[in-house]
A and B are shown apart, each in its own frame.
Chain A
Amino acid sequence: MQNWTDACGVDDIEDEDVIRWDHAGATFAIYRDPKGQFFATDGKCTHEAVHLADGLVMDDTIECPKHNGRFNYKTGAALRAPVCVNLRTYRVRVSEGRVQVDIG
């Protein structure tokens, strides 16, 4: 089931960066890659539940700010220990200057 939900404006995130978005008791991370494309994942690291929005975006990866574990934020794949469990990803679209996330 689709549930497109307004998350933020396109200008709220710089290229190659991430912001935190809290909605309905859940926390998400919204990314903008170096080419300006938007992506979304669960907001907390699957290792120790640290907010990924404080982490570092490098190309297609997000690095957790606490233990430096890495995920591919486009696929959710866990790339570097200590993360072992993949991150859940969400579909994203841009409509009239707003970033929307399909939270299902």
Chain B
Amino acid sequence: MTMTQPLVAKRDYSLTGPSSRHAVDIGLTAAEWYHSEVPRKVMKELMQRRDGPAIRDTIVWIGLLAATGAGGVYFWGTWWAVPLFVVYGVLYGSACDSRWHEAGHGTAFRTGWMNDVVYHIASFMLMRNPVNWRWSHARHHTHTLTVGRDPEIAFMHPTGLWLNVLHFVGLVDAYQSLKVILCNALGFFTTDERDYIPASELPKARTAAQAHLAIYALTVGAALLLGSILPLMLIGLPRLYGCWHMLMTGLIQHGGLAEDVIDHRLNSRTVYINPISRWLYWNMNYHIEHHMFPMVPYHALPKLHELVKHDLPQPTPSILAAYREMIPALIRQRREPGYFLRKELPPTAKPYRDEFHQFVPSRAAE
């Protein structure tokens, strides 16, 4: 592969186009995903829901948000406010993603309403319509990285590399998210949204979007009234200045790996990361394990990892190592049709199921 090679043809990632129909036609959407074997008794224990860990983590999260936010306000206008808002921003603009995710799965807490409360707060922080994203994420789990079926594919080939750099400051993402919220609040839904959200849920999605917009309008109003950006530093802007950790950990979940497969070991990445990031990310670095067994709560993922790691590729040793392997793969994917990072399995693992992978359009042409 050379840099003079042309970019690969843009794939159709829409949910209602030819790729979607092709995925259905070749049986990808009906195929059963590969799962490592875990005895039912053990899996039952791993799946058990508990309120304790998430209550503890939520108290710490909200407590830190309150403390750093109050400190940022108190020291506003001095340099002391900078580190406080750096921490506040990450707690708001990044940690909210893992809380949104786990509460959305209903696995964070055993008590249902606690999941719902955290889910709605975190959705607001993320500028995500809580209704739309519940359904899009369900689809992401059904058809992970299946082109034309998964609405949450981060890297669409050929990937715009600078666009992804911009994502780290949240500009593009927040702009797109606000646009969606605004459209939803007015009752407009795209054909893709209508594909994965049942019609009966659309009114709820509209109401949620209107509620989000109302809070943002009040915040902007407060900023205008006070003649200060401070209210927006607390609500809204952290989604931009604090989202870098969410992107840093989120983009390596699937980046550079295979599309259109039915084995999460081929399209997801497990990475060993530092304890602070693991707390912010609620253990989603065990991403292959999460996709194989979405019912296992975040606090049980390390245990699940120990049980199945003999059947998974060697985990990527660090976030830096993940980027070192992912970026060259993404660059290669821009010009080499069908290329993906195929990780070696240990001798103890069951082999990859390749039977469907030959049908990936770009690979079939090879």
Residue numbers of A with Cβ under 8 A of B are: 17, 47-48, 54-56, 58, 63, 65-70, 80-82, 84
A49 to chain B, nearest CB (A): 9
Q: Is B47 in contact with chain A by the CB < 8 A criterion?
A: yes
- Assess A80 versus B295: contact at CB under 8 Å? Given A48-B142, A56-B47, A70-B106: no
Known interface pairs A55-B295, A58-B49, A81-B134; A67-B198 also in contact (CB < 8 Å):
no
Q: In terms of DSSP, what is the predominant structure of the interface of chain B?
A: helix
Measured between beta carbons, the chain B residues less than 8 angstroms from A54 are: 43
If A55-B295, A80-B112 touch, whether A68 touches B106 (CB-CB below 8 Å) is: yes
Q: Contacts of A58 on B, CB cut-off 8 Å?
A: 49, 110
Chain B residues with a Cβ under 8 A of chain A: 43-44, 47-49, 105-107, 110, 112, 134-135, 138, 141-142, 198, 200-201, 293-295
Q: Find out whether the CB atom of A67 lies under 8 angstroms from the CB atom of B141.
A: yes
Given known pairs A56-B47, A68-B105, A70-B106, the reply for A81 and B201 (CB within 8 Å) is: yes
Given the known interface contacts A63-B106, A84-B198, the answer about A56 and B141 at a Cβ–Cβ threshold of 8 Å is no
Closest Cβ neighbor of A61 among chain B residues: B112
What are 17 pairs between A and B in contact, CB < 8 Å? A47-B138, A55-B295, A56-B44, A56-B49, A56-B295, A58-B49, A58-B110, A65-B293, A65-B294, A65-B295, A68-B105, A68-B106, A81-B135, A81-B201, A82-B135, A82-B138, A84-B200
A63 to B48, CA, bound (A): 11
Q: In the docked arrangement, what's the CA distance between A68 and B134, Å? A: 11
A80 touches B200 (CB 8 A): no
Shortest CB distance B284–A (Å): 15
Q: Is the interface of A mostly helix, strand, loop or mixed?
A: loop
When distances are taken between beta carbons in the complex, the residues of chain B under 8 Å from A70 are: 106
Q: For the A-B complex with A67-B141, A68-B294 known, give 9 more contacts whose Cβ atoms are closer than 8 Å.
A: A17-B44, A47-B138, A48-B142, A54-B43, A58-B110, A65-B295, A80-B106, A80-B112, A82-B138
The reply to whether B295 and A63 form a contact with Cβ atoms under 8 Å apart is: yes
How many residue-residue contacts, CB under 8 A, span A and B? 43
The distance in angstroms between the C-alpha atoms of A58 and B49, with both chains bound, is 9
CA distance A55 to B44 in the complex (A): 8
Cβ contacts under 8 Å, B47 to chain A: 56
**Closest B residue, CB atoms, query A83:** B138
Least CB distance, A12 to chain B, in whole angstroms: 12
Complex Cα distance A66/B134, Å? 13
Contacts of A81 in B (CB 8 A): 134-135, 138, 201
Q: Across the two chains, which residue of chain B brings its CB closest to A47?
A: B138
Question: What's the minimum C-beta distance from A55 to chain B, rounded to whole angstroms?
Answer: 7
Residues of A within 8 A of B107 (CB): 68
Contact, CB under 8 Å: B201 / A67 = no
Q: Are B112 and A67 in contact (CB under 8 A)?
A: no
CB of A102, distance to nearest CB on chain B (Å): 26
Which residue of A17, A65, A66 contacts B142 across the interface (Cβ within 8 Å)? A66
Most chain B CB inside 10 Å of its own CB: which residue of A54, A63, A69, A81: A81
Which residues from A are CB-within-8-Å of B134? 81-82
Q: A81-B201, A82-B134 are in contact. Are A66 and B294 (CB under 8 A)?
A: yes
Closest residue of A by beta carbon distance from B104: A68
Give the complex CA separation of A80 and B134 in angstroms.
11
Cα-based distance from A81 to B107 in the complex (angstroms): 13
CA distance A65 to B200 in the complex (A): 24
Residue numbers in B under 8 Å from A17 (CB-CB): 44
Q: Which among A65, A66, A67, A68 has the greatest number of chain B C-beta atoms within 10 A?
A: A67
Return chain B residues, CB-CB under 8 Å to A69: 138
Closest-CB distance, A21 to chain B (whole angstroms): 15
Cα separation A70 to B110 with both chains bound (whole Å) = 13
A68 x B198 contact (CB < 8 A):
no
- Closest 7 A-B residue pairs measured CB to CB? A82-B138, A56-B47, A67-B138, A68-B106, A68-B105, A65-B295, A48-B142
